[in-house]
Every structure is written in C-alpha cells, then in structure tokens.
C-alpha cells in the first residue's frame, strides 16, 4: 500500500512513514526522510534546540513526580547502561 507524503509529494510504501497512532491510517503525514530533514532543520535553530531541551526537562520532572514514573526512569536508565556495557564502550 502506498501513501503520498504531504511534504515531498512522493508516493512511498506505508513502512516509509513513522507511526502515529492518532492519525486515521496510523502513520504520519510526512515520510521518514522528510521527518528527518524537518527535525534536523528544527534543531539547527538554537532557539528551538533550547525549547526542545526545556520540554524534555519538564517531561522528566513530571515523570519523576510520580512513583510509577520514577520506576520507569530507573528501568530505562538501567537498560541504557546495560546496552552500553554490552557494546563494550566502543567510543572510549
Ligand atoms: Zn517526504
């Protein structure tokens, strides 16, 4: 099944679109290539980068304010370190 990207107007297979459960077809309107470009352009702007960081910080604070959220963060952090350990610190 093909879907037209609303940004580059190219018909691409559905797998080329990131998932978005809230959309009727379960995919984003832009193909993954466009999504990457848009994100890179967005983050190239220092103002947006700071906004993004502030959002992540706020999100983390909200998560840490509940016991359930703290447990999630703990598990995620553990997974992250385990993964790094398995990779053997390739980059130093
Ligand atoms: Zn596209």
The reported pTM is: 0.58
Degrees, nearest 5: CA angle 66-56-85: 85
pLDDT by residue (tens digit) across 32-74? 999 999 999 999 999 999 999 999 999 999 999 999 999 999 9
Q: What is the pLDDT of residue 43?
A: 92
Q: What is the pLDDT of residue 87?
A: 83
Q: Mean pLDDT in the chain?
A: 92
CA of 17 to the centre of ligand 1 (A): 9
CA of 5 to the centre of ligand 1 (A): 5
């Amino acid at each position: 099944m093909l879907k037209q990207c609303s940004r580059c107007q190219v018909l691409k297979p559905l797998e080329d679109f990131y998932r978005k459960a809230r959309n009727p077809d379960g995919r984003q309107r832009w193909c993954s290539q466009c999504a990457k470009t848009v994100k890179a352009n967005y983050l190239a702007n220092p103002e947006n980068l700071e906004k993004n960081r502030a959002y992540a910080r706020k999100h983390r604070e909200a998560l840490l304010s509940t016991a359930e959220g703290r447990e999630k963060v703990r598990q995620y952090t553990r997974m992250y370190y385990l993964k790094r350990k398995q990779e053997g610190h390739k980059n130093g």
